[in-house]
Structures are given as structure tokens and as C-alpha cells.
Copies of this chain bind each other. A is one copy, B any other.
Amino acid sequence: MTSVVQSLPSVHQSLFEAKAVKGLTFEQIAQRVERDEVWVASLFYGQVRCFSSSPESSDAKPTEVEVKKLGKVLGLQEGPLLKHFHTHWFPERGDLTPMPPRDPTLYRLYEIILVYGYGIKSVIHEKFGDGIMSAINFSCNVKKVEKNGADNVQITLTGKWLPYDFHE
């Protein structure tokens, strides 16, 4: 019954605290780190890492440059941040929310799968063939849009098309 933030490793808690002290939004941090806003938010929750293709840093973490920018924006020392993302060697994801989600905001995303899942799936198959939308080569963003004079939340999920291919 503690907040999810309080259950995160202490480095992550310090990210949230520094963000609060600085009065920054994820959007503002994202602009300065030059990454997407949801990517930054997920990084705060320990769920997002980018893959750096350079041979000398083939591991699972934000690049050194990104960590340094993050430290600068939040006024946190580079040292512990870099150490944290290196010690926490192998990425683990997906362990934050109980399923079905008990939080109403998260539950609505779950309900969309219950109600529209088969509709979405069949349109994917019809438009692309047999395969899936990747959740690995993927991005998403959240926007405020207006519809019929009311605020709407618009979540865009974009994932690479992966055709089913049982190669030999």
C-alpha cells in the first residue's frame, strides 16, 4: 500500500524527488535529454532502456551521454547515476502493476484489450497479414487532443510489424 515510487530502488526515488524539487515535468526533462516523454517516465520507473548499438557499450541502459544529461537537468551527481545503471546489469521489466490492474487509470487500458482486443487484432491481420506489432521495437506517446469540444487523451502505440516467419 506504499506508492509504487517508494518501492523502487533508491536511485529511482531520488529521480522523482529531484524532479519534484526542480518542478519539472517529464516533457521538460525529455526535451533536455532529447528523448521521448514516455521513455523518460518509464526510465524513472525502471522500465525503459534504450539499446546503444555501439560495440563498446552493448549493454542495457541509457547511454552515458543520456545519463549525464539527466543528472544535469535534475541537479544530481553523475557518479551514482552512472554506477546505478551499470550495476543493475541485466534489465528486468514488467513487474510493477498487479494484473488485472487495480488502479482505475491502468485498468482502462486493460479493459480496452478485453473489449476491443479482437477487433484490433483482426484489423491488424487484415492490413498486414499474419504477425504481430512488436512491443520491443516500439514507441508510444500521450497527447491532449480536443474532440467535440472536450479534452481527450490520445495514446499512440507504434510498433514494428513482425510477420510470422518460421524460417528454416
Residues of B within 8 A of A52 (CB): 129
Main secondary structure of the interface of A (DSSP, over half): mixed
- Nearest chain B CB to A41 CB, angstrom units: 4
In the complex, chain B residues whose CB is within 8 Å of the CB of A78? none
| Known A-B contacts A2-B9, A97-B117, A123-B26; A157 and B154 likewise in contact (beta carbons under 8 Å) | yes
A119 touching B45, Cβ below 8 Å: yes
Q: How large is the interface on A (under 10, 10 to 19, 20 to 34, 35 or more residues)?
A: 35 or more
A41-81 residues at the B interface, CB under 8 angstroms: 41-42, 44-53, 58-61
Specify which chain B residues have a CB less than 8 angstroms from the CB of A5 in the assembled complex. Answer: 89-90
Most B C-beta atoms less than 10 A away, residue of A103, A128, A145? A103
Closest to A1 in B: B7
A124-168 interface (Cβ within 8 A of B):
124-140, 142-145, 147-148, 150-168
Would you mind naming 25 contact pairs between A and B with Cβ atoms under 8 Å apart? A3-B88, A5-B89, A41-B118, A41-B122, A47-B115, A51-B131, A60-B125, A61-B130, A93-B103, A94-B115, A95-B103, A95-B114, A99-B113, A105-B121, A109-B120, A110-B113, A116-B140, A120-B142, A124-B142, A133-B155, A134-B162, A138-B166, A153-B158, A155-B158, A156-B157
